A and B are shown apart, each in its own frame.
Chain A
């Protein structure tokens, strides 16, 4: 991938590290996997280096259904980055089967004006240009 860094920066990509890689590797397999403590079962997102409940280091990633509801959202009307064309919807999603987990996303395949708080959504995966897949959500 080439880009003119001064005037045409590439779309920001995930930057997996040893803590977060499990989340992004699962996305590449079209799976939504959330970090879960192997000892107490607590789900965490963003991934943490210790269980935020029991401080265990026994952490893994568990596949979840990818269903959730909109906690909040905003319709972006201003261009904050050349790789994103307004209007687009950013949102925080509460996952149905990963208690306590709220995650950033875009809501895609929807009229932005139709998005509502508490709206049911499900995960989908978007190729952001070079084969990299990221989790996105769409109306359920």
Chain B
């Protein structure tokens, strides 16, 4: 296996509303910015990996054409059952580490319309085919994930004595960080009182437990450590990565309803890593719903299962200036839903020391977790070159 690094990151603008956006333009702008950041041209790139629901993001070969890449020796359009946008970077890691390609572009583009589908907007649902939880749930008025996340919160309160404030700390923290992130769509602070009084969607789940659909894209350039050393940016090495599904995986009736595959994913990740949970300087954990973020904190062993409420210490642990800063861009709750890949690109910028007023001092190791249920994925990145 070859050592792999992230050498560049890039974004489109992140917006809401306006005329319908072009996913093709958003993805190309993000990818072009990532290539400029890394100092590579189309001739240097030989792989593309992208994750999409299908209609929200252009396919790899379209982006190849726009970027002037003469040929792709590997590419993949990854569908929605993987660990959100991070799946694109995980696939690129495997391709570069194994020698299947030298330099890959990864991107996640998502539009507000796609993000709204199945969320709080009332939209005509798809039919309910096939034996799986997502489809049968439709028969019972369970559209997408909001009600099932509400059920997870209810059960977590029963099993662990969790309080609503536990999830509230995730929501409040997001705005503390986004205040210093110019990309973020929501930058106005919210208080615990705001969280608790926000609209109830699927009791006990509130509106402020949910992320914000936006129009936008982010991208990264992933290459060998050898090539990264010759590029202008500080290399951020991919120390380890893992998937996790859990047994009898399913979004609603899998064996572990509260954590899905995140616990298995965390165990595999630390087995593969040259670091330990105590080495983590910052956390970039998926926050499509606040329940998911808490699952990841515990699954990545920052604290024991059910111990988040004590660990978070009224928010002090994860807030600016805290011991283990969390979602330093404001996450999807505040920056907007770039669907997982932005947790990696923010980690890269933090480890490179380029985050200005929200910079975490001396950050060397970041942990990233994506998605939940039967499709968990995680990664450790660091500016320290360790391992093979």
Contact = CB atoms under 8 A, between A and B. Distances in A.
25 contacts: A12-B128, A14-B128, A15-B129, A17-B131, A46-B132, A46-B250, A48-B131, A52-B248, A71-B257, A72-B158, A73-B154, A74-B147, A74-B154, A74-B204, A75-B200, A76-B201, A77-B202, A80-B120, A80-B144, A81-B141, A90-B140, A92-B253, A92-B257, A102-B257, A117-B158
Contacts of B151: 72-74, 90-92
B166 interface: no
A76 B147 contact: yes
Interface string B114-129: 0000001010110111
Contacts of B138: 12
Contact of B139 (A12, A71, A79): A12
Interface of A: 5-6, 9, 12-15, 17, 19-20, 45-49, 52, 71-84, 88, 90-92, 102-106, 117, 128, 134
Contacts of A84: 141
Contacts of A79: 122
Interface residues of B, number: 43
Contacts of A91: 151
Most buried by B among A46, A48, A74, A102: A74
A90 B124 contact: no
A125 B144 CA distance: 24
B234 interface: no
Contacts of A78: 120, 146, 199-202
A17 B136 contact: no
Contacts of A49: 131
Contacts of A105: 140
B252 A15 contact: no
Contact of A80 (B147, B154, B200): B147
A15 B130 contact: yes
Nearest to A18: B131
Nearest to A101: B253
B230 to A, nearest CB: 50
A61 B174 CA distance: 48
A9 to B, nearest CB: 4
Contacts of B154: 72-74, 117
B143 interface: yes
Given A90-B137, A104-B133, A104-B252, 13 more contacts: A6-B124, A49-B131, A73-B154, A76-B147, A76-B202, A78-B120, A80-B146, A88-B141, A90-B202, A91-B151, A92-B252, A104-B253, A106-B141
Contact of A104 (B124, B136, B155, B201): B136
A5 B124 contact: yes
B140 A104 contact: yes
A75 B203 contact: yes
Interface in B179-209: 199-205
B135 interface: yes
Nearest to B125: A12
Nearest to A53: B248
A81 B131 contact: no
B152 A72 contact: yes
B208 to A, nearest CB: 13
Contacts of B129: 15, 17
